[in-house]
A and B are shown apart, each in its own frame.
Chain A
Amino acid sequence: MKNLKGLVVIATLSFTSLSFAGDALNAEEMLIDAEEANAAAAAIGFEWRDTSKFISEARIALADGKQEEAYQLAQRGYDQAVLAKKQGELMMENWEKYIPM
């Protein structure tokens, strides 16, 4: 029974530690994705005001070991960057349709 309890504790700790490592990897990956997406939006002149701030804050959070916070901030930056790029592509093709008459 004692062996079984020990096994459970070890398994739980291992799982938690693996899960934590997984989050760290995801936060780093999300940060890279956000940076790439924002660079793509900026390249066509449609970067949004706060995106790079979220990315910078995510970078700091990651350095401080705050994986979840880093992930959330990077995700926010990524979502903005993707929308900004879509906005830019839409405008580059369709801006003349928005001229008021």
Chain B
Amino acid sequence: MLTTKIKLTLSLVAATSLLAGCTSSNSDESADYQALVQQDISTFQTFFKNRFPDVEIEDYKNGVYAIDENARLQWEDIEEFPPYELEVDDGKVLYETPFANGKSYADCFGDGAVRKQYPQFDDKRGEVVTLELAINECREANGEKPLKYKKGNIAKLSAYMAFQSRGQIVAARVSSEGAYNAYMGGKEFFYSKRGQMNLSCADCHMRATGYYLRADVPSPAIGHVTHFPVHRSKWGQLGTLHRRYGGCNQNIRAKAFKPQSEEYRNLEFFQTVMSNGLEFNGPGSRK
């Protein structure tokens, strides 16, 4: 059904182009997908502009601290001595330590400042590639075992690379039918209610953001991806975005998907596109 809708939408776009006397080409098709997505970004970001008129869009990179002044003051104090600092140092050591074959992560990622390149849709493979997936693929290509995806060394490496990438601007592109399908998969996931609590991502992070759910204010969905991995006080350590996705799904009594599952990679892709224009400022610290 989704495919049919996409085809219908694209047919309309193609028909409009023909009527306008345009010649079809691959670059035109690519531009059409991005145009469809751009409309979503505008609608999404406008929702938050209306919801919190005093908050600048750029400030959503700070998650819930963009909208909760009291929590922000506490967070700023914490950030004076960031709890993730030692883990970033560990990540640097891991990054620079050669594999058994003498190569290292630098052979895959250069200086590590590659955060803005991920997640990306790989047209040849037909799937979304996240930073953590790329880290493990780099390891496997060099004869090393993959790391577990939720915490530990993968989060430390990812944190170091995020730290190296601070200031880069989120600019995820949707430039092919495959990328658009993955994006739409993530979008559907985001807005679908699931679990025994019958809640969607949007229910907590759009409708309820700014209000208290028990003792906490749910963070706004825009900017979710900019500051991961995060050191959560609850975890006492760094964790990846997909670890957080799993925790959220468990909280609403849905069975969590595996980290780096197609569902979570597509969700990350959608959320990243929605945060286009914000700054990557990971790693972050959260409650």
Contacts and interface: CB of A to CB of B under 8 A. Distances in A.
Interface residues of A, number: 22
Interface string A43-62: 00111111110000000000
A58 to B, nearest CB: 17
B198 A48 contact: no
Contacts of B196: 48-50, 80, 83
Contacts of A42: 255
Contacts of A63: none
Interface residues of B, number: 23
Contacts of A80: 196
Contact of A99 (B195, B202, B253, B263): B202
Interface stretch (A6-14, A28-36, A66-74, A87-95): A87-95
B254 A100 contact: no
Interface in B187-243: 188, 191-196, 198, 200, 202, 206-207
A51 to B, nearest CB: 8
Interface string B40-52: 0001000100000
B1 interface: yes
Contacts of B263: 45
Given A45-B263, A87-B198, A98 B254 contact: no
B253 A98 contact: no
B195 A98 contact: no
A52 B206 CA distance: 30
B200 A98 contact: yes
A32 to B, nearest CB: 20
Contacts, number: 54
Contacts of B1: 92-93
A80 B198 CA distance: 12
A42 B207 CA distance: 27
A98 B196 CA distance: 17
Contacts of B9: none
Contact of A100 (B193, B198, B206): B206
A46 B254 contact: yes
A99 B189 CA distance: 11
A46 B188 CA distance: 13
B250 interface: yes
Contacts of B47: 100-101
Nearest to A94: B192
Contacts of B200: 98
Max chain A CB contacts within 10 Å: which of B1, B253, B255? B255
Contacts of A88: 194
A57 B263 CA distance: 28
B200 to A, nearest CB: 6
B193 A49 contact: no
A83 B253 CA distance: 13
Nearest to B195: A48
A66 B65 CA distance: 52
Nearest to B200: A98
B8 to A, nearest CB: 14
A47 B191 contact: no
Top 7 closest pairs, chain A to chain B, by CB: A91-B192, A47-B255, A49-B253, A95-B192, A100-B206, A95-B191, A48-B196
Given A49-B195, A100-B47, 6 more contacts: A45-B257, A46-B254, A47-B254, A92-B1, A96-B191, A98-B202
